[in-house]
Amino acid sequence: MLDLVYAGGIDRFPVDVKQVARDLSAQRFPGDAVTMVKGASLGRFDGALYKAPTGKTGWGIIYNDAIASKGRINFTLAHEFGHYLLHRLAHPDGIECGQQDMVRWDSAYREIEQQANCFAAGLLMPLNDYRAQIPAKARPTLDDIGTCADRYGTSLIAATLRWLEYAERRSLLVVSRDGYVLWSRASKSALRTGIYYRTSGRPPIPVPVSSLAAQTPIGAATVDHEDDVWFKEPCQEIALASDRYDFVVSLLHFDEASWRGFAEQDNEPVPDALAFMIDRFPRR
């Protein structure tokens, strides 16, 4: 499906999700296309997919017009377009999504939200282009990832999660608030060596007291830790406190280590959403 998007001439970044949603849906599903994409007051929701009112055809993709971040809006639009392609037939009354639905990419969360996020990441941040910006063996800073976020028109967290999908080094993203881990995401090599947090259905996990995350840094900060802070291993912590959303983002880079066996935990990916979508909408 995404091959069709880029084959149709959408090869510049950031991707214009509004145009793609309208044009591709009209081409593929005439009479049931996306006919409206706009901002509106959605209260506690970031985005929504709504069926047209009785007597009209089509669907509307709505984002919360109170969102200030353009990157967050763009990812929300792509996420809701993913719901349109993947889930509208099973949810004829529409779907409403909160902020948590956009940032939780783990398999313990709702499957349809995971699939919509995978689609949005693939649409906005194709891996072949991302790898050209940051190689798989690189040790990026948050500034490096932020440059990619600007290129793709996404949030810093979304860009970091996308990089972790193909990163070969042992790295971990930790999002915390008030000294406790909200959720985390590990690269595959970090996961295999026990570098991860299991957060779903568990008691709150405090961040290490000597970490930057515990100190709520002003702006971005970087420190090299010994083996007495994160996971009893030396690592580099790059932390950024978000004054807008009241949490701390920590990107941890660890050195190489021996393989310890694959861990079953929240980070385990669900089946690829793009493959799932291609199965449902094969080429004609």
Reported as a single tens digit per residue, the pLDDT across 173-230 is 999 999 999 999 999 999 999 999 998 888 999 999 999 999 877 778 999 999 999 9
Residues 24 and 103 placed together within one structural domain of the fold? yes
Side chain identity at residue 224, one-letter code? D
Encoded tokens for 35: 């006919």
Please state, in angstroms and rounded to a whole number, the distance separating the CA atoms of residues 32 and 49: 13
20 within domain boundaries:
yes
Residues 11 and 52 placed together within one structural domain of the fold? yes
- Do strands 34-40 and 59-64 pair parallel, antiparallel, or not at all (unpaired)? parallel
Residues 117 and 205 placed together within one structural domain of the fold? no
Residues 276 and 237 placed together within one structural domain of the fold? no
Residues 242 and 276 placed together within one structural domain of the fold? no
Please state, in angstroms and rounded to a whole number, the distance separating the CA atoms of residues 112 and 83: 8
Q: Which residues pair with 236 in a beta bridge?
A: 224, 253
Residues 120 and 29 placed together within one structural domain of the fold? yes
Residues 92 and 175 placed together within one structural domain of the fold? no
141 within domain boundaries:
no
CB 213 within 8 A of CB 174: yes
Q: Which stretches of 140-179 are assigned E, i.e. beta strand? A: 170-177
Residues 276 and 226 placed together within one structural domain of the fold? no
Return per-residue pLDDT of the chain as tens, 284 residues: 555 455 444 557 999 999 999 999 999 999 999 999 999 999 889 999 999 998 899 999 999 999 888 999 999 999 999 999 999 999 998 999 987 766 655 554 578 888 999 999 999 999 999 999 999 999 999 999 999 999 999 999 999 999 999 999 999 999 999 999 999 999 999 999 999 999 888 899 999 999 999 987 777 899 999 999 999 999 999 999 876 667 899 999 999 865 554 444 444 433 333 333 333 333 33
Tens digits of residue pLDDT in 104-119: 555 545 788 889 999 9
Own/partner contacts of 34-37, CB < 8 Å, gap of 24 or more, are: 34/58, 34/59, 34/60, 34/61, 34/81, 34/84, 35/59, 35/60, 36/60, 36/61, 36/62, 37/61, 37/62, 37/77
Domain count, the chain: 2
180 within domain boundaries:
yes
Encoded tokens for 152: 């793709």
Predicted TM-score of the model (pTM): 0.82
Query: What's the per-residue H, E or C state across 213-268?
Result: HHHCCCCEEEEEECCCCCCCCCEEEEEEEECCCCEEEEEEEECCCCCCCCCCCCCC
Residues 246 and 276 placed together within one structural domain of the fold? no
201 within domain boundaries:
yes
Handedness of CA 262, 264, 265, 266 (dihedral sign): positive
Name the residue range of residue 61's domain.
2-125+272-280
Residues 189 and 105 placed together within one structural domain of the fold? no
Residues 14 and 75 placed together within one structural domain of the fold? yes
